[in-house]
Structure 1
């Protein structure tokens, strides 16, 4: 196999390796081991994992870079850093992946980009998010469709608005939910570790309600989108034993994109529009009459564009289709929206920032 052919495989092979290891840890509950997997044992590296690591090692050495692929734990740590920092090869630059991270540093779970880049490689057929929520979705399927849609939205909205919460908050929500759904909601939470306490309490972000941690210049929110969008501001916290936090799988897939989804949703509610949040169990993020809106926070516009070029998902159910991107991400990435439109290669999707979407609706309301 030529060096060019090998290089073209490095990103999907690496992304697939990240997804496999996440499944071992998050879904199966096993430790990640650097030893080879023995027959009949679920712990250890498979031959496919070894091939992917060897591929990374070869590309690193050919390009005069330190060998990042020889040890699985080190390699996974590097995957939490932007690819352009440690895998400086032409294929990364040419695909617009310099700022892409495959693992979310705070929670150690694959990013949306990793899921997208791994699709179709190594026999992947089911997204990690789908597997994480499979039991919840199976439970919802036991209810009439309209009720199931309502319960899904209620649970997801509560989780997004309450990444960290006092235990008694569950009882307030469960009044309007069947007991089975209430119990499922509680399983999305886990105790806050005492290590999150600063002095005597866990500081809470005033903007998004998540816990805060010490940064280089003071407290910073643990939600990446919030840190990028807002100045740090905390309110009085509580003792760690009194709090629960959303589990890490849910934080990655619901909390991070949810900050801007809720911001947009609340703005449309204030305008008096007939807005739906996560309709039909997340067909799209937001719907307003015949307009469907998907909000995506991919660091690489090319990766996001290729996703929509391949399949627009639930947006196909709507006459008008918007893809909305957080303002902070567009500001941090040169020509983001132009690059996104080019990568999509289609004219039936409108690309906007959250602020542009809100401004568009305000203009419509004013002219109505």
Structure 2
């Protein structure tokens, strides 16, 4: 067997395959989000090309073809980082071996998948459709409150992924943003049948506010199990905060919103709440999302949930985004990620080669540093 990582040309080929595959998953997800069925015989061209590249790598490594089934490939991408797929070219020391392309639950492209997909394209080619849609709503309210409204809507989505229609409408009216009501409806769906208990009721997760799905392991999950990955890392027991007897009028945000905003947003909200409780004057998503948590031009904190520190370092090197506009800059990594990967922060610091100074630390370390 040839060690592909000993050949710089082979490593480039491997990286290109991973990037094209990432673009394929992004394009496939857009179709699913639009209501299309995953048809193995009518996949997006990028997905077909990515699968063909994976098949070629498998052939060269003399292993079973991982690229011959979109369903099998999606399943392994959801469960494992690419370095554990069994494909030697993707394994360590490949620098992106720790990348996960799809979130486990709900299944959707990860931030890392989006970053890989966007490589080499124009900056806005793969900009999140949700950010664009939300900003379009923000532009329709009076100028004096635009930045505040963006933060209000983002915070509301993260804190209340399951909501009652009338209550949300009252909330939007109270804040003068009824124009967002239709967008919220488009981004959400009725409570899935799989989340309902036998009597038609459903449970809400005490940790993240999402749905608890009935689970066959009733000993460990008597109230059901949350399906939002970062929530399960924080609170594996999945306890219930409330039981809703009748699902009529209740909705939950769609899987891509849960994966893109709610899951990663849990650490942002926790940090924000901790700082506010300690008397630190900060806001969520300040200045039109220039950072996740910050204050004026003084302090900016971005919380990043990448599995692979090397990829995150490269992404931040190329584009630090709005964080550059703050005097004091932090990139905070969820504590659970660093506990699972003890050398994460060291590898991230080595991978970051940007000219702008940034402090890298866990979420809890950032909180202690800011509180003082």
Same-fold status (TM-score > 0.5): yes
Are the equivalent residues in 1 in contact too, given 2:55–2:68 (CA < 8 A)?
A: yes
Are the equivalent residues in 2 in contact too, given 1:265–1:277 (CA < 8 A)?
A: yes
Query: What is the Cα-based RMSD across aligned positions, in Å?
Result: 2.3
Distance 1:336 1:252 in 2: 22
1:9-158 aligned within 5 A:
9-26=16-33, 28-36=34-42, 44-46=43-45, 48-82=46-80, 83-121=82-120, 123=121, 126=124, 128=126, 130-158=128-156
Distance 1:136 1:264 in 2: 23
Alignment of 1:222 onto 2:227: yes
Are the equivalent residues in 2 in contact too, given 1:34–1:45 (CA < 8 A)?
A: no
Provide Cα deviations, 1:157-188, integer angstroms capped at 9, x if missing partner. Answer: 11111011233321331212232133333433
Identify the match of residue 251 of structure 2 among 228, 234, 244.
244
Quote the residue 2:288 is aligned against: 281
Q: TM-score, normalised by structure 1?
A: 0.88
Distance 2:10 2:283 in 1: 50
* 1:7 CA displacement: 2.4
Quote the residue 1:366 is aligned against: none
1:159-238 aligned within 5 A:
159-174=157-172, 175-200=174-199, 201-213=201-213, 214=215, 216=217, 217-218=220-221, 219-230=224-235, 231-238=237-244
Detail structure 1 runs of 4+ shifted over 6 Å in the superposition.
none
Distance 2:291 2:37 in 1: 35
Structure 1 residue matching 2:128: 3-state secondary structure: helix
Structure 2 unaligned residues grouped into runs of 5+:
1-6
Quote the residue 2:301 is aligned against: 293
Provide Cα deviations, 1:42-76, integer angstroms capped at 9, x if missing partner. Answer: xx442x44332211011112223210111223322
* 1:127 CA displacement: 5.6
Are the equivalent residues in 1 in contact too, given 2:106–2:229 (CA < 8 A)?
A: no
* 1:91 CA displacement: 4.1
Are the equivalent residues in 2 in contact too, given 1:188–1:247 (CA < 8 A)?
A: yes
Identify the match of residue 352 of structure 1 among 358, 361, 365.
361
Are the equivalent residues in 1 in contact too, given 2:21–2:49 (CA < 8 A)?
A: no
Structure 1 unaligned residues grouped into runs of 5+:
37-43, 364-368
Are the equivalent residues in 2 in contact too, given 1:278–1:286 (CA < 8 A)?
A: yes
Size of the alignment, in residue pairs?
353
Alignment of 1:308 onto 2:316: yes
Alignment of 1:325 onto 2:333: yes
Distance 1:150 1:342 in 2: 36
Distance 1:30 1:233 in 2: 34
